[in-house]
Amino acid sequence: MAAGADKVVVGKIATAWGVRGWVKLIPFTEDPEQLLAYPRLFLQQGGRWQSLTFAESRVQGAGLVARIDGCTDRDQALMYRNCLIAIDPADMPALAEDEFYWHQLVGLKVFTAVQGKPVLLGQVDHLLETGANDVLVVKPCDGSLDRQERLIPWLPGQYVGKVDLEAGEIEVDWDPDF
Structure confidence by residue, pLDDT tens digits, 146-163: 999 999 999 999 999 999
Whether 177 is covered by a domain: the verdict is no
Q: Both 62 and 129 in a single domain?
A: no
Q: Both 85 and 9 in a single domain?
A: yes
- Long-range contacts from 49-52, C-beta under 8 angstroms, 24+ separation: 49/4, 49/7, 49/86, 52/85
pLDDT of residue 21: 96
Give dist(CA 171, CA 173) in Å, integer. 7
- Asked if the model's pLDDT at residue 8 lies above 70, the reply is yes
Q: Both 31 and 50 in a single domain?
A: yes
Q: Both 56 and 131 in a single domain?
A: no
Annotate 114-140 with b (16+ C-beta within 10 A) or e (fewer).
eeeeeebbbbbeebeeeeeeebbbbbb
Helix extents (H) in 13-80: 74-78
Quick: pLDDT tens for 92-147.
Answer: 888 888 899 888 999 999 999 999 999 999 999 999 988 889 999 999 999 999 99
pLDDT of residue 30: 83
Whether 159 is covered by a domain: the verdict is yes
pLDDT of residue 78: 97
pLDDT of residue 113: 95
CATH code for position 141: 2.30.30.240
Lowest-confidence segment of 1-5, 79-83, 125-129 by average pLDDT = 1-5
pLDDT of residue 4: 45
Quick: pLDDT tens for 48-67.
Answer: 999 999 999 999 988 899 99
Q: Both 48 and 117 in a single domain?
A: no
3-class secondary-structure state, position 19 = coil
From 56, 91, 126, give the residue that closes a domain: 91
The DSSP 8-state label assigned to residue 94 in this structure reads P
- Asked if the model's pLDDT at residue 79 lies above 50, the reply is yes
pLDDT of residue 5: 52
Whether 10 is covered by a domain: the verdict is yes
Query: Which residue, among 89, 106, 86, has the nearest Cα to 28 in the 3D structure?
Result: 86
CATH code for position 65: 2.40.30.60
Bigger pLDDT: 88 or 131?
Answer: 88
Q: Both 84 and 148 in a single domain?
A: no
- Asked if the model's pLDDT at residue 164 lies above 60, the reply is yes
Give dist(CA 104, CA 124) in Å, integer. 10
Q: Both 123 and 66 in a single domain?
A: no
Domain hosting 145: range is 102-172
Mean pLDDT of 77-81: 97
- The type of residue at 97 is E
Q: Both 31 and 12 in a single domain?
A: yes
Whether 142 is covered by a domain: the verdict is yes
Report the first-to-last Cα separation within the chain, whole angstroms.
27
How many Cβ atoms are within 10 Å of 97's Cβ, its own excluded?
5
